[in-house]
Amino acid sequence: MTDDIYSDIGFAKLDLSRETRTGLPETVYCAGKTNEQLLKILQTFQEKNVAVLGTRCSKEQYNFVKESGLPLVYGELSRVIKLGENKTKMRGVLAVCAAGTADLPVAEEAAEVAEFTGITVERYYDVGVAGLHRLLSKIEEIKKADAIIAVAGMEGALPSVVAGLVSAPVIAVPTSVGYGASFQGLTALLAMLNSCAEGISVVNIDNGFGAAMVARKMLRIKEK
């Protein structure tokens, strides 16, 4: 019976009821897993015929698991690995905004994960606040989105400026982009938590995946 809810493969108990329970797809955090563990997990899901997504999958891990012949798709920038396809199509549009070029890996992780869950994503990249005209030239489009993910490192000001201009909720993602007193993203994280603009909530540093999961749960509200 346990096997209906999770599959016990010794070093892991694979959650098979997550989609039913939380409406989110099965996902694997690849970092910190051995090549063998990752392969075993992917094969188990394949056997159960469950589409699954992996994040933080290194190039080296991908090279190992693709040898197995599993039908995998991999994004080098986002480090997202996909097995199978999620059939659901969500209503609504998610805008993913990123402040600078160095924030792209995180923004792409968010965008690709969201797309895997059936969301339509629009990307607005390199729209940081130091050159405000870049953001302002796109703002009318951004305003039309149902939910917004705003990705920024350094001083992390992008979500504040965006949230003051739109009516959609803004999911802020601090990145570890910066140096010195950016403290690997801590400064951006703290800035976003202290935003004077309203309607912003925050996920962990570099957590594009988490932001996509929040967006997914938000857009489900529309479905209900």
Name the segment binding a copy of itself (CB under 8 A); options: 46-54, 64-72, 78-86, 181-189: 181-189
Measured from the CB atom, the residue of 71 and 193 that comes closer to a copy of itself is 193
Beta bridge partners of 121: 94
CB 222, CB 29: distance < 8 Å: no
Mask 148-177, x = binds a copy of itself (CB under 8 A)?
------xxxx--xx-xxxxxxxxx--x-xx
CB 119, CB 219: distance < 8 Å: yes
Question: Is residue 37 close enough to count as binding a copy of itself by CB under 8 A?
Answer: yes
Q: Which two tokens stand for residue 135?
A: 């953001």
SS3 at position 155: coil
Report the site for a copy of itself in 186-215 (rule: CB under 8 A).
186-207, 210-211, 213-214
Measured from the CB atom, the residue of 13 and 71 that comes closer to a copy of itself is 13
Integer CA distances (angstroms), 123 to 7, 13, 52, 64, 223, in order = 37, 35, 23, 31, 23
Question: Is residue 183 close enough to count as binding a copy of itself by CB under 8 A?
Answer: yes
Question: Is residue 54 close enough to count as binding a copy of itself by CB under 8 A?
Answer: no
Q: Which two tokens stand for residue 119?
A: 């969301």
Q: Which two tokens stand for residue 199?
A: 């309607």
Question: Is residue 141 close enough to count as binding a copy of itself by CB under 8 A?
Answer: no
* Site size for a copy of itself (CB under 8 A): 99
What is the chain's Cα-based Rg?
18
Instruction: Give min distance, CB of 158 to a copy of itself, in A.
Output: 9
What does the alpha-carbon distance between residue 63 and residue 75 come to, in Å, rounded to a whole number? 12
Report the site for a copy of itself in 77-136 (rule: CB under 8 A).
92, 99-102, 104, 125-134
Measured from the CB atom, the residue of 72 and 102 that comes closer to a copy of itself is 102
Binder among 15, 35, 63, 82 for a copy of itself (CB under 8 A): 15
Instruction: Give min distance, CB of 185 to a copy of itself, in A.
Output: 6
Question: Is residue 221 close enough to count as binding a copy of itself by CB under 8 A?
Answer: yes
Instruction: Give min distance, CB of 46 to a copy of itself, in A.
Output: 18
Chain centroid to CA 71:
22
Residue with tokens 């940081």: 128
Measured from the CB atom, the residue of 83 and 158 that comes closer to a copy of itself is 158
Integer CA distances (angstroms), 178 to 42, 96, 127, 187, in order = 35, 20, 16, 9
